Amino acid sequence: MQQQPQSPELQTGKYKSILLIGAPGSGKGTQGKILSAIPGFYHSSTGDIFRSLDLQTETGRTFWDYASRGELVPDEFTIQVWKNYIKGMELTNQFHPETQMLVLDGIPRSVMQARLLEDTIDVVKVIYLVCADMSKMVERLRRRALKENRFDDANDKVIRHRLEVYERDTHPIIEHYPADKICRIDATMSMIDVLYEIVKILKPLKASQ
Ligand code: ADP
C-alpha cells in the first residue's frame, strides 16, 4: 500500500508557527486578526486568552495581578495556560495543525518562554515589528485604552513600564532565533503597508505546502 505523505505537523509533532514580535502598540494583534481570516493560518493571542479568563478563578486573578501593574505573567504559568488552551482548540476542532500554521501574538514574550515552547512549536519565521519611535506606540496605546477599555493601557506610568519590560524581557528573543528566520518590518507604517509586507513573507510558505 502506498504511504500517504504526512503533514508537516505530524512529521515533527510540533505546531508550525509564525511569531509576531514587537512592542506593545506595534500592531501584532491587529495584523494577527487580519491574518486569521486567511485560510491556513490560525491566530493565537495570549493577551486575548488571558483577558477571556474568569476573574473569579485563580488563573484569572493571577493574570490580573500582573497585567494591571504592566508586568509579565510568570513564564511557566503562561506557557502552561497557553499549551492547555491550544490543545483544547485542537481537540475541539477549532485549530487544525495539519493544515493551519499558528500565528503567535504575545507569546513567547521572553527567552525563557521561547525555550519552554521548543517541544511544542516549530518556528518558521519571526516577524519583528520594529518601532524606532516609541512615542508613536504610546500614542496608539492611549487611543486603544479609550476604545477597547484596556485597563493596562489606561495610565501612562503602566504604559511606560510595559515598554520597559518589552525592552528588557521580550526584545532579546530576536537574538534567540537564527538570523535567517527574522523578518524586520517598520511598525510605524500604515496598517495596510505592514500587512502587505507580512503577506509577502507568508505567501511563499503557503505556496510550498
Ligand atoms: P500588548 O500586545 O499590548 O502588550 P497583550 O494583550 O499581548 O498586550 O498582553 C496584555 C498583558 O497580558 C501583558 O501586559 C501581560 O501582563 C500579559 N501577557 C500576555 N502575554 C503574555 C506572555 N506571553 N507572558 C507573560 N505575560 C503575558
Report the atom number in ligand 1 closest to the C-alpha of 74. Answer: 25
> Does the Cβ of 30 fall within 6 Å of ligand 1?
no
Residues 43-87: tens digit of each pLDDT: 999 999 999 999 999 999 999 999 999 999 999 999 999 999 999
Cα 10 to ligand 1 centre (Å): 30
The Cα 162–Cα 147 span in angstroms is 19
114 is written with which cell numbers? 521561547
Residues 89-109: tens digit of each pLDDT: 999 999 999 999 999 999 999
- Other beta carbons within 10 Å of 12: 12
The Cα 19–Cα 150 span in angstroms is 23
Within 8 A by CB and 6+ apart from 108, the residues are 19, 114, 116, 117, 173
Residues 121-171: tens digit of each pLDDT: 999 999 999 998 888 888 888 888 888 877 777 788 888 999 999 999 999
> Does the Cβ of 19 fall within 6 Å of ligand 1?
no
> Does the Cβ of 24 fall within 6 Å of ligand 1?
yes
Does position 1 have pLDDT exceeding 50, yes or no? no
- Other beta carbons within 10 Å of 206: 13
The Cα 132–Cα 89 span in angstroms is 36
What pTM was computed for the model?
0.89
Per-residue pLDDT, 209: 56
Report the atom number in ligand 1 closest to the C-alpha of 26. Answer: 2
State which H helix or E strand residue 113 sits in.
Answer: helix 111-116
Computed over every residue of the chain, the mean pLDDT equals: 91
Sheet with 121-130, edge to edge strand ranges: 41-45, 101-105, 15-22, 121-130, 182-186
Cα 60 to ligand 1 centre (Å): 13
- 20, 134, 184, 198 from 46: Cα distances, Å: 12, 22, 22, 20
> Does the Cβ of 177 fall within 6 Å of ligand 1?
no
Nearest CA to ligand 1 atom 6: 47
Report the atom number in ligand 1 closest to the C-alpha of 141. Answer: 3
Cα 2 to ligand 1 centre (Å): 47
Per-residue pLDDT, 74: 97
> Length of the chain in residues, anyone?
209
